Structure 1
Amino acid sequence: MHRYVVKIGSSSLTSDEGGLNRDKIAFFAGELAALHQTGVQPLLVTSGAVAAGFTEIGYRKRPKHLHEKQAAAAVGQALLMQAYQEAFSRYGIGVAQILLTRSDFSNRLRIHNALMTIDELLRHRIIPIINENDTVSVNELKFGDNDMLSALVANLVKAQQLAILTDTDGLYTADPRKDPDAKRIERVEQITAELLQMAGGSGSSVGTGGMRSKVDAAQIASRGGVPVFVGKVKEPGDLLRATEGGGKGTYFETTVHPLSTKKQWVGFHSLPQGYIVVDEGAESALLTGGKSLLPAGVTEVSGQFEPGDVVEVQNLSRRVIGRGIVNYAAWQLHVTAGLSTEEVIKRVEVPRMEVIHRDEWIPFG
């Protein structure tokens, strides 16, 4: 059964002053219902709890302090789910609320349980409505208006596509509001540094995500094997057209196969406990040679990690080229970095000679 993750931001669900716009919610419910009726399994990642709640709680404008945002989210989340429940009930579709934090993804047991819950809901044709648990999150807006959350969810459920809906019809070569010569980029085969530079900042006072956060999310999703659509859904049928390749936006393609749950956790969900810098030979072996990382290729070590922890790997230019599960404690790698296998055996006792085995490695290059 095909799965499609659809992310809707705050500005698409609320008025400019804050508060829910019921007409907008009814429209998106209709679009998702049409997708649901084709037999696929849609999942909705929504923003809007803070924007929905801050006017209700009595704030004149969107709050700045964390405790005020959390209070607004606590009020707004109930309003948001009530509005979705009423809108989807018109189509005979049930909905379920799932609230997640970044720490849920970093804990393999918790995110596995979340996936089992999602699978069960989809089996019963209920649409999961997923949002960040703003009320208990310790860092402000870590998911970038839930763009990153939608990418992690799309990878988790091995979706056929992630659709990030926005008020702009895709990524442009420049800001189309300021540059009349700006051209829309129809398809992206590879997200480059130049492309990331094109993605500007946030254009809305209600939401928190700009085009850059959407391109960052597309990069994470495509690395996990999920193609991404970033664009506009304004007319009836636009969402179906977007899933069929004719949407009003930019398509980010991928040639990567969906990753196993373990590799997803290593690459995107885990919290690295340090980093390792490698030389050019090791970089090439990891990115194109399909090889494991040996101590001889390590030039620098940072952090306090133990065997089984996840670490980032950087090249000599300090660009992160991937993540992996390390087989050495930090102190062991400090004393063996740059040494041959024979020398390593003389100095430390480790369960495996590889610093990171290729089966426990996720490249970002």
Structure 2
Amino acid sequence: MSERIVVKIGSSSLTSDEGGLNRENIHFFASELASRHQLGENIMLVTSGAVAAGFRRIGYPSKPKAVHEKQAAAAVGQALLMQTYQEAFSQYGIVAAQILLTRADFSNRRRIQNALMTIEELLKQRIIPIINENDTVATDELMLKFGDNDNLSALVAAMTKVNMLVIITDMDGLYTEDPRKNPLAVKIERVDQISEDILKLAGGSGSSVGTGGMRSKIEAARIAMRGGVRAYIGKVQYDGDLSRAIEGTGRGTYFDTKLNSLPMKKQWLGFHSTPQGRIIVDDGAVNALLIGGKSLLPAGITDSSGDFHPGDVVEVFNSQGETLGRGVVNYAAWQLKAAAGLSTDEVSRRIEVTRIEVIHRDEWITLK
């Protein structure tokens, strides 16, 4: 099977400071992607840039902030973006296809399965899928959750079981501090586990050393790694830079993983599903879930909240409020309230349930 690569390119790399597309840059990236495509690799491109490409054409003096204005700009800009990509790839005899997704698509197992089948067919036909968020229907809250499409690229990479995710940025990797402010900052060449310290380096709440946009890229790398996909964050600026990034000599930071690719069901459960409730468990249940690989039983539950039903997804937390994972619950919310802390024999006598396990181990994924 040919190697599969997801490449994510952000708005700043595709558009000019004044708004509108930077056609020279798009043609450069198309050339880099085409060189890997011609080697027989299956290339998928996750792109941003629709809003930035379209707002000038509408007549807005600057990039809009209101949701309906963003959506209008995206409606115009997405067409311009795809037209430019089609023109750029056609020079190499490559056909490109547009796929627009939202967070809601990933939450629905049937919809995301249909998207996956479409991508598989496009790759089979040697077509490059160009994937973007469907900004014209996504709410602003959902748009922010995708993090300038960084998380979208990681979700696509995990879903399609790629060999590598390449996130192109204007920084040549992750540093101990912002190198634009401190010339003594040291670049971190490789990461094999994304700890809280790594996230703090990338910026976000409580940190003053982060570089713009790096936090969402690190979070995307974590999603990819959890799905068994290694990631790269760095620059692709000169001819051959993409090949160097893929082959291990790029000017960025590599995120390695020893985890195997997750089955589609587990990916949906861990990254795409929408939890309908929360379950708090005691230390014994924590050990059973995280170390023993066992199912969650009523005896280990100390509290629960939410209006869930059998078959819904719930999140599980320890007593300190830390997320342990997600699972498909076999109890309704009222049943779990009645069963919490009871032995299996006692639950069997008091409550009529299809399965005694609150969450079976086959319907569970650890996120800690």
1:206 alignment counterpart: none
In the alignment, which of 188, 209, 213 is matched to residue 210 of structure 1?
213
In the alignment, is residue 183 of structure 1 matched against residue 186 of structure 2? yes
Name the Cα RMSD after superposition: 1.4
Residues 106 and 270, structure 1, Cα contact 8 Å, conserved in 2: yes
1:205 alignment counterpart: none
How many pairs were matched up? 360
1:12 alignment counterpart: 13
2:35 alignment counterpart: 34
Seq. identity, %: 69
2:208 alignment counterpart: none
> What displacement does 1:277 show?
1.1
In the alignment, is residue 306 of structure 1 matched against residue 309 of structure 2? yes
In the alignment, which of 144, 147, 151 is matched to residue 147 of structure 2?
144
1:359 alignment counterpart: 362
Say which SS state the counterpart of residue 24 (structure 2) adopts.
helix
Residues 175 and 200, structure 1, Cα contact 8 Å, conserved in 2: no
Say which SS state the counterpart of residue 359 (structure 1) adopts.
helix
> What displacement does 1:69 show?
0.2
1:68 alignment counterpart: 69
Aligned mates of 2:189, 2:348 — CA distance in 1 = 54
Aligned mates of 1:18, 1:164 — CA distance in 2 = 22
Say which SS state the counterpart of residue 317 (structure 1) adopts.
coil
TM-score normalised by structure 2 residue count: 0.96
Say which SS state the counterpart of residue 356 (structure 1) adopts.
coil
Say which SS state the counterpart of residue 16 (structure 2) adopts.
coil
> What displacement does 1:139 show?
3.3
TM-score normalised by structure 1 residue count: 0.96
2:292 alignment counterpart: 289
Letter in 2 for 1:223: R
Any idea what the Cα deviations from partners look like across 1:80-114, whole Å, max 9, x if unmatched?
00000000000100000000011111111111111
Aligned mates of 2:232, 2:350 — CA distance in 1 = 51
In the alignment, which of 259, 271, 282 is matched to residue 256 of structure 1?
259
Aligned mates of 1:250, 1:285 — CA distance in 2 = 35
Any idea what the Cα deviations from partners look like across 1:16-56, whole Å, max 9, x if unmatched?
12210000000100010011011110000000000100111
1:267 alignment counterpart: 270
2:158 alignment counterpart: 155
In the alignment, which of 203, 223, 237 is matched to residue 234 of structure 1?
237
Aligned mates of 1:363, 1:275 — CA distance in 2 = 15
Residues 201 and 211, structure 1, Cα contact 8 Å, conserved in 2: no
Structure 2 stretches lacking a partner, 5+ long: 206-211
Letter in 1 for 2:257: T
> What displacement does 1:201 show?
5.4
Say which SS state the counterpart of residue 277 (structure 1) adopts.
strand
1:315 alignment counterpart: 318
In the alignment, is residue 346 of structure 1 matched against residue 357 of structure 2? no
Letter in 2 for 1:322: G
1:57 alignment counterpart: 58
Aligned mates of 2:231, 2:291 — CA distance in 1 = 25
Runs of 4+ in 1 over 2 A off after TM superposition: none
1:85 alignment counterpart: 86
Any idea what the Cα deviations from partners look like across 1:277-336, whole Å, max 9, x if unmatched?
111221122112111111111111011100111111111111111111111111111111
Letter in 1 for 2:160: V
Residues 98 and 130, structure 1, Cα contact 8 Å, conserved in 2: yes
